[in-house]
Amino acid sequence: MFSQITLHDPYDYPDYDAPSKFIGVNKYAFLSIKPVEMRSATDITYLDPNLRQCIFHSEANEIIGNDWNEHFVPVKYSFINCLTNCRASLIKNICGCIPYYYPQNNTRVCDLRDIECLETYKFWYDTSWPGMDLSPKALPHVKLDGYGRPCACTPDCNFYHTKKILITDIFHCRKDKTWKNQSAIHIFFGDLVSIQYRRETHYNWRHLFATFGGLLGVFAGFSFMSIVEIIYFFVIRFLIDACVNRNTRNKRN
């Protein structure tokens, strides 16, 4: 027997992707967690989601559609919740029901009559890439798209990742206690601070303008101001002089 400790975001469904640890019976354990945050700068919100390859929670309804609230996990969009909805939808479409451990959405709960169907198509939904047959027989012939995503779920622009360190020992009971088949676990942060990674635009049109202009000026003695001067002297100035000369000839005539 054992107990499962699952660590997940409060708004994420604790599905297969959630990090977890198993604690055996009669164990005294210490679980140290170290969160790592990925934070995206606000300036990347102006980039197209296909270009930045991530999505903010506030723009999920606008990009994905307002029907997100009708899914099995309607709390908040996240990559984990998207995969959970995908797995639940696959089970519903294949077997006509959803397991009891998924949030209910006016769908029939699977019972003993559906065990054969759930077991037959287990490798279609109980994997890291739902919607593809990843059974041992089919796996050698499967070709995954390196640029694709499972269930077309877009990753989060802001998310947390948790590193776990588990230390266990035998649970020694006191003589005056009759504890049996019990365990104790202490969960705590491993440090006072955590690591934060930032995703931001390294180059925008201003940086490119300044970079290319500086390179042309250094290596070719050429700059964007030179282009403006050429246009002015050889195009605009030529047209102005032509108009002035024409008006002068008309006045003389």
195 and 223 both lie in a single domain? no
Query: Is there a contact between 67 and 74 (Cβ–Cβ < 8 Å)?
Result: no
Strand-strand pairing, 20-24 and 2-6: antiparallel
How much is the pLDDT for 233? Answer: 72
66 and 126 both lie in a single domain? yes
How much is the pLDDT for 63? Answer: 64
Tokens of 105: 């959405």
How much is the pLDDT for 114? Answer: 92
If DSSP codes are grouped into helix, strand and coil, which group holds residue 217?
Answer: helix
Average confidence (pLDDT) per 10 residues, the chain, 253 residues: 79 77 81 87 81 82 60 73 87 90 83 91 86 80 71 85 74 62 83 86 66 58 66 75 74 64
Q: Between the CA atoms of 52, 53, 57 and 60, what dihedral angle is there, to the nearest 10 degrees?
A: 110
Tokens of 43: 């300036």
Radius of gyration of the chain (CA): 31
186 and 210 both lie in a single domain? no
15 and 117 both lie in a single domain? yes
27 and 132 both lie in a single domain? yes
Measured between alpha carbons, how far is 16 from 223 in angstroms, rounded to an integer?
A: 56
The last residue of a domain, from among 179, 199, 219: 199
Strand-strand pairing, 195-199 and 27-40: parallel
Tell me, what CATH number does 143's domain have?
Answer: 1.10.287.820
Nearest Cα neighbor of 89 from 75, 76, 102 is 102
168 and 47 both lie in a single domain? yes
7 and 36 both lie in a single domain? yes
Query: Is there a contact between 121 and 53 (Cβ–Cβ < 8 Å)?
Result: no
Question: What phi and psi, each to the nearest 5 degrees, are found at residue 58?
Answer: -70, -20
How much is the pLDDT for 66? Answer: 56
175 and 220 both lie in a single domain? no
How much is the pLDDT for 174? Answer: 60
Query: Is there a contact between 199 and 158 (Cβ–Cβ < 8 Å)?
Result: no
195 and 214 both lie in a single domain? no
3-state helix, strand, coil in the chain (%, to 5): 40, 20, 40
How much is the pLDDT for 44? Answer: 82
- Find the domain containing 47 and state its range: 2-199
Number of structural domains, the chain? 2
229 Cβ neighbours under 8 A, 6+ residues apart: none
How much is the pLDDT for 65? Answer: 60
73 and 37 both lie in a single domain? yes
How much is the pLDDT for 147? Answer: 58
13 and 108 both lie in a single domain? yes
Tokens of 229: 């001067």
